[in-house]
């Protein structure tokens, strides 16, 4: 943005000129709520309501088991995978939507290590970030444990450390394209190329970037990618995740969750496993068809909106959020931990506050839903599909009121639920 929007009226004027303003009508958001948590659970697309009713009553209720063929249930992980591929530069035949991000990371990391073991058996180091979303680290540990702890996990603490640790012993590098806490954005193209020049594989976790920033896995020549669809893609709680494999790797290895859906001919009911050609072998088992089908709704809205326009608006909104906090809330102990540089910023903004947890509970009670992440982090996801400039203004004003009036001091805001 070239100039600060320094009044609510200026924000309303920016909304009136916003080309993407109409996309908020595609979502059903509750009255009186400003939703800044779309990076954790995306909002409900109106079309998903009718579609889920259709899947349940028509495809399941009337068509029953015939739907596996007549409604292409069996093909759906691949059909929807092709649509997701549009958003990540996936190319054709390289993407499926299936299982969860954690399970998919297990599959692709196992594939990567097996391929490396054949090509360069002395590569025994896996690199990840200490600040990675913890499930990624748990999965790496779990897999390593299963295969006899043959690998050393090396954790880096800052992006600048990556280049120095890429020795001849590195097999794979697992990175979150956008950090879930700070919003730091890696340069996917450059880092993919750097890692590969050093002979390692790059595995991207796209959970916080798919649907938020432009991604081109094919031109980056990445090796593997996994990512959630229930965040910026608005596919619904626990909706299946995406999995992408560079075509050069697809047929080299049988991923270890070798269930019948990845078989070349599952209905042969053969006693021996024969993997399907290509990306199909990354499927494991019968899919949650209802949930899977809704992924298409969220993905279609994003495809229609155009990723470059979404990115432009996302940066304008996160700029505005940061500027308003800095100009209007400077008397409070809020510390920005999100990069200001556009080149390394994703689509959420995070601030530390010593009473972060209670502040977020008070904000939620006032109708601004963001979330809290340890330690002390207030996190605000900015989804340009349904957030406008005046929403950002109102959210920051509510934060100001919560802090100025110390609303967070109420005892009920100190109690933690199972999910924060
Ligand atoms: C949200 C998120 C996950 C979640 O994984 P699930 O298997 O869907 O629970 C994984 N990685 C990152 C980076 C995330 O942000």
Give the model confidence (pLDDT) of 48-93 as tens digits: 999 999 999 999 999 999 999 999 999 999 999 999 999 999 999 9
HEC readout, 53-95:
HHHHHHHHHHCHHHHHHHCCCCCHHHHHHHHHHHHHCCCCCCE
Predicted pLDDT at 420:
80
Q: What is the C-alpha separation between 407 and 104, in angstroms, rounded?
A: 42
Residue 230 falls in the annotated catalytic set: yes
The whole-model pTM stands at: 0.97
Residues with CB under 6 Å of ligand 1 are 100-102, 133, 135-136, 176, 180, 205, 207-208, 228, 241
Which residue's CA is the closest to the ligand 1 atom numbered 4? 101
Residue 355 confidence class, pLDDT cut points 50, 70, 90: very high
Predicted pLDDT at 407:
97
Residue 180 falls in the annotated catalytic set: no
HEC readout, 147-159:
CCCCCEEEEECCH
> Active site residue: 231, 281, 313, 345, which one?
231
306 alpha carbon – ligand 1 mean position (Å): 24
Say if residue 2's pLDDT is above 60: no
DSSP string, 357-409: HHHHHHHHHTTEE-EEETTTEEEEE--TTT--HHHHHHHHHHHHHHHHTTGGG
Which residue's CA is the closest to the ligand 1 atom numbered 14? 207
Say if residue 99's pLDDT is above 90: yes
Other CB atoms closer than 10 Å to residue 5's CB: what's the count?
22
170 alpha carbon – ligand 1 mean position (Å): 24
pLDDT single digits (tens) 281-337: 999 999 999 999 999 999 999 999 999 999 999 999 999 999 999 999 999 999 999
Residue 133 falls in the annotated catalytic set: yes
Q: What is the C-alpha separation between 264 and 223, in angstroms, rounded?
A: 23
Residue 379 falls in the annotated catalytic set: yes
Predicted pLDDT at 417:
85
Residue 3 confidence class, pLDDT cut points 50, 70, 90: low
Residue 303 falls in the annotated catalytic set: no
């Amino acid at each position: 943005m070239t100039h600060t929007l320094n009044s609510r009226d200026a924000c309303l004027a920016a909304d009136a000129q916003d080309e993407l303003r109409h996309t908020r009508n595609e979502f059903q958001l509750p009255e009186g709520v400003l939703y800044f948590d779309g990076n954790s659970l995306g909002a409900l697309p109106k079309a998903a309501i009718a579609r889920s009713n259709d899947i349940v009553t028509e495809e399941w209720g009337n068509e029953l088991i015939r739907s596996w063929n007549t409604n292409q249930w069996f093909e759906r992980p691949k059909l929807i995978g092709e649509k997701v591929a549009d958003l990540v530069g996936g190319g054709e035949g390289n993407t499926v939507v299936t299982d969860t991000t954690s399970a998919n990371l297990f599959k692709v990391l196992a594939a990567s290590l097996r391929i490396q073991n054949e090509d360069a058996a002395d590569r025994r180091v896996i690199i990840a970030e200490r600040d990675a979303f913890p499930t990624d680290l748990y999965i790496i540990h779990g897999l390593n444990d299963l295969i006899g702890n043959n690998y050393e996990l090396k954790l880096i603490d800052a992006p600048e450390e990556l280049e120095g640790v890429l020795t001849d012993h590195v097999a794979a590098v697992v990175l979150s394209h956008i950090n879930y806490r700070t919003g730091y954005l890696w340069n996917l193209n450059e880092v993919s190329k750097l890692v590969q020049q050093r002979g390692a594989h790059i595995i991207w976790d796209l959970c916080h970037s798919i649907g938020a920033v432009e991604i081109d896995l094919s031109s980056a020549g990445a090796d593997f990618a996994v990512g959630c669809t229930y965040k910026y893609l608005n596919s619904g709680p626990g909706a299946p995740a995406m999995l992408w494999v560079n075509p050069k790797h697809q047929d080299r290895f049988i991923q270890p969750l070798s269930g019948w859906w990845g078989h070349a001919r599952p209905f042969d009911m053969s006693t021996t496993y024969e993997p399907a050609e290509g990306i199909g072998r990354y499927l494991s088992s019968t899919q949650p068809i209802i949930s899977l089908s809704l992924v298409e709704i969220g993905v279609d809205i994003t495809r229609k909106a155009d990723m470059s326009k979404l990115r432009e608006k996302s940066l304008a909104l996160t700029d505005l959020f940061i500027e308003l906090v800095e100009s209007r809330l400077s008397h409070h102990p809020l510390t920005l931990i999100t990069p200001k540089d556009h080149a390394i910023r994703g689509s959420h903004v995070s601030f530390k506050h010593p009473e972060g947890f209670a502040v977020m509970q008070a904000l939620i009670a006032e109708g601004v839903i963001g979330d809290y992440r340890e330690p002390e982090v207030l996190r605000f996801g900015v989804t340009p599909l349904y957030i406008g400039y005046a929403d950002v203004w109102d959210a920051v004003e509510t934060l100001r009121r919560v802090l100025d009036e110390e609303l967070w001091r109420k005892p009920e805001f100190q109690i933690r639920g199972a999910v924060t």
